[in-house]
Structure 1
């Protein structure tokens, strides 16, 4: 089944980024100026909405260089995965390539293309700083793996690869279940780690810099089925006793 990759930009490019949505949107904007026809006055702006996704993340300078404002990227198709089953910190087994049969930990997720990076596996030799006078420094670079064909999750019961399915427990919790053993595969804690602190539950409020949780959760407005004028009149005790003049339509 084919699916337009551009439909995935809004939600998937930032789901595993742990960065504010406004920051990523600002970094992804590509605006160029074009002078309209006669009369020549203020410039006309166009915002780039189609992007090419690779190994560079949408908020980096490398991503900006791959997506100049004046170029339209080649159309790509990506198989849609409605229930994403791989998270940062999962142990997976590689099914193809020279590292077939080896197991590793997922370190980076590229859901725009159904890719993941497995730490230390599926690597190539990349020569950094190579030019005509210098051969470059050889370094290993981890390459992406396709989640639909190249990897499978490892069942924690017997440490073997297995297909998984999302199911619901009796309490209504959505969990991943191994189709081979029926065991629940929990989501690793590293999936919840953020940039500024390790885990949300370990965060400590700072009275000087942060807005306290109790203040944020305090309800200060209750919506009612009244207009603004009706609400003000009720709070100030104003009663409407004026009679509208009759109107006539001809």
Structure 2
């Protein structure tokens, strides 16, 4: 039986790959700091106290829903996740559902949640969720995809014959790492849609706009570090010569 481990303390390690958001924003939006040294105070005061264990669900770490599930002061149940050495499912892959009422049906991977080894398949393995339900309104029924466990509830589909298959990673003669079907030996390419983001469809199709910083401006060296203080640098630029002799001092 594979070794199990607790993955609750890995905040946003995988989810941020599918959010197309800066790392600094994800860190700031997902962390829960209970106390930290006030600004302007000495940094040798007691260290920052923040939450370390989180419960991962289908809500991304930077959303309000994730914050409510991991409300400050609440405790979360320990979740054991089977470790996967090499992740083999990507957005846009065609997979076959192996459990539930949609068993045997094929669909396209819509979302990936590597913290729990989950994926969702577009239009399959769904449940009805009522939105806006109140005393005076019965709500709006909406179909929502439930997560599927990649280790035993879904299987990749070989595009050559559209049949479910197990895969393994191999290297081509050129050194490229590819997925290969164990049944047919054919390569299963990673879909181009896995590279799609919120800003643009594919990175190689992105065209810089007028407001984008040019590559040559970013690579231009505009500062040369020197062993000088700020005051010494200003004096050199203004042509001021220091004629005072400092007193001797001793460091122990």
**Are the counterparts in 2 of residues 91 and 105 from structure 1 also a CA contact under 8 Å?**
yes
Alignment partner, residue 81 of structure 1: 84
Q: Which runs of 5+ in 1 are unaligned?
A: 35-41, 230-250
Q: Distance in 2 between matches of 1:144 and 1:24?
A: 23
Q: Distance in 1 between matches of 2:211 and 2:205?
A: 17
Alignment partner, residue 31 of structure 2: 29
Under a length normalisation based on structure 2, what TM-score does the superposition of the two structures give? 0.79
Q: Distance in 1 between matches of 2:94 and 2:143?
A: 21
Aligned positions of 1:1-250 closer than 5 A? 1-6=3-8, 8-9=10-11, 11-33=13-35, 45-206=48-209, 208-216=210-218
User: Root-mean-square deviation (CA), in Å?
Assistant: 2.6
CA gap 1:30/1:8 in 2 versus in 1, 3 angstroms: closer
**Are the counterparts in 2 of residues 33 and 43 from structure 1 also a CA contact under 8 Å?**
no
Q: Which runs of 5+ in 2 are unaligned?
A: 37-44, 229-252
CA gap 1:44/1:2 in 2 versus in 1, 3 angstroms: closer
Aligned length: 218
Alignment partner, residue 236 of structure 1: none
Secondary structure of 1:108's match? strand
CA gap 1:217/1:192 in 2 versus in 1, 3 angstroms: farther
Secondary structure of 1:18's match? coil
Q: Distance in 2 between matches of 1:9 and 1:28?
A: 8
Under a length normalisation based on structure 1, what TM-score does the superposition of the two structures give? 0.79
